[in-house]
Amino acid sequence: MLRWSITFLVIAIIAAVLGFGGIAGATAGIAEILFYVFIVLFVISLIFGRGRGV
């Protein structure tokens, strides 16, 4: 999930440099959403992973 977020962020930066504002904004928004989903899933896995006692 984090890899997708970074990929979309790189696409957004390249599109912004080339002057494609709409595409850059859309891909930056997708990257931001994927990053927040990654953070939430990471925190959930930390919480439930501690209960195993490993």
Query: Residue ranges of the domains in the chain?
Result: 2-49
Q: What are phi and psi of 52, to 5 degrees?
A: -75, -30
Residue 54 confidence (pLDDT): 56
What whole-number distance in Å separates Cα of residue 22 and Cα of residue 14? Answer: 12
What whole-number distance in Å separates Cα of residue 39 and Cα of residue 31? Answer: 12
Nearest alpha carbon to residue 44 among 4, 9, 6, 1: 1
* Residue 13 in tokens: 């930066």
Global pTM? 0.66
* pLDDT tens for each residue of 8-25: 888 888 888 888 878 888
Residue 28 confidence (pLDDT): 85
Residue with tokens 């919480």: 47
Residue with tokens 């599109």: 15
